[in-house]
C-alpha cells in the first residue's frame, strides 16, 4: 500500500445535489465494493459513501486535469472528482490497476 493512499487526501467531489464538496478520501484495498471511501473529515470512522473498484475501472481518468469521472450503469449523472492531489491520483491509479489484475 502506498503512503499517500494510506493517509488519504482531501479533494472535491460533485455531490448528488450538484454542489461541489471537499471531502477526505481513503483507499480500502481489501474491499472491492467500497474501494475508495469518502468522509466529511479525516477523523471520521464512518464514510459518507464509497466507490467500487468496478466504478473506478470504468471511469474516465484525466491525468492532466487530475480528475476522475465515474458513471455507474444505474446512475443518470456521472460522479466527478476534481483537484485530486497528483501523488494520490497516481498511487490510486496504480492500486486500481493492481487490484484489477488480482481479481
| β partners of residue 81 | 13, 68
**Res 90: pLDDT:** 92
pLDDT band at 1 (very low <50, low <70, confident <90, very high): very low
Whether residue 4 has pLDDT greater than 90: no
The pLDDT-based confidence of 65 (bands split at 50, 70, 90) is very high
Name, of 4-8, 51-55, 76-80, the range with top average pLDDT.
51-55
Per the model's pLDDT, the better-predicted residue between 103 and 53 turns out to be: 53
User: Average pLDDT for residues 17-35, to the nearest whole number?
Assistant: 89
Residue among 88, 90, 91, 59 nearest 75 (CA)? 59
Q: 31-60: per-residue pLDDT in tens?
A: 999 999 999 888 888 998 899 999 999 999
CA atoms of 72 and 62, how far apart (whole Å) = 18
DSSP string, 12-57: EEE-TTS-EEEEEEEE-TT-GGGSEEEESSTT-SS-SEEE-HHHHH
Amino acid at each position: 500500500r502506498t503512503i499517500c493512499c494510506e493517509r488519504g487526501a482531501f479533494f472535491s467531489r460533485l455531490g448528488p445535489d450538484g454542489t461541489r464538496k471537499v471531502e477526505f478520501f481513503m483507499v480500502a484495498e481489501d474491499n472491492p465494493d467500497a474501494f475508495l471511501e469518502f468522509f466529511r473529515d479525516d477523523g471520521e470512522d464512518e464514510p459518507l459513501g464509497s466507490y467500487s473498484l468496478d466504478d473506478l475501472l470504468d471511469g474516465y481518468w484525466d491525468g492532466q486535469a487530475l480528475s476522475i469521472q465515474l458513471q455507474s450503469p444505474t446512475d443518470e449523472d456521472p460522479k466527478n472528482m476534481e483537484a485530486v492531489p497528483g501523488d494520490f491520483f497516481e498511487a490510486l491509479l496504480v492500486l486500481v490497476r493492481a487490484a484489477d489484475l488480482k481479481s
